[in-house]
Structure 1
Amino acid sequence: MSTWIDICPVDDLQPDSGVCALVEDKQIAIFYMPKDNALYAINNYDPFGKVHVLSRGLIGDIKGEPMVASPLYKQHFSLKTGICFEDETVKNETYAIRIENNRVEISLEG
């Protein structure tokens, strides 16, 4: 059973963009796509640029797979799996995330 951690009200999210939340000493990039009724959470760390910037990346999709492009070197990471499209040996952590009672909740458990 997952332990859900309350993050913020839904109104704090930026539609079709990313925000960063500090959850138990982890920087988490949260992406909200209301038109698709989708919410994603991925570690904010860019393993290529070695800084926490993914929440500022551009979102879109590659062949229907939702992704974020790093603002630094432009690598693309799947928002579902965290796998880098350009180098499948590189994977970022993704997290279960949901909206309950107009609040955003995340589970850091794998």
Structure 2
Amino acid sequence: MIPKKILGKYGEKHACKFLLGNGYKIIENNYRCRYGEIDIIAFKDNIFYFIEVKTRQSKEFGEPEESIDLPKLKKICLAAQHYISCKNLLECDYRFDAISVIVCNNKPAFKHINNIIQ
């Protein structure tokens, strides 16, 4: 069993590789402000993506993305609003996505979930 913090960092690292392989540019990792944290901020096709990564070693307790609850979504939204304001991106398009990572035998499998916040 991999410790939760190490597993999370592993998932985020490989989620970045997954995004890069799909044409995204990684702008920031682990953006933190007083409102919360955003795991990955990426850019593709003139859209900024605020991405939450959830990593598990099995689906025994459900899909990883099922652990993204309403309080977490609110924190992501507030942190993104802070980032948008600080970086003067008010005129830019943006979207909130999630990447679900299942690690089995040291191999990550990904699911990209679009528009987790409408």
TM-score, normalising length: structure 2: 0.34
More helix by share: 2
TM superposition score normalised by structure 1: 0.36
Instruction: State the structure with more CA Rg.
Output: 2
Query: Which one has the bigger strand percentage?
Result: 1
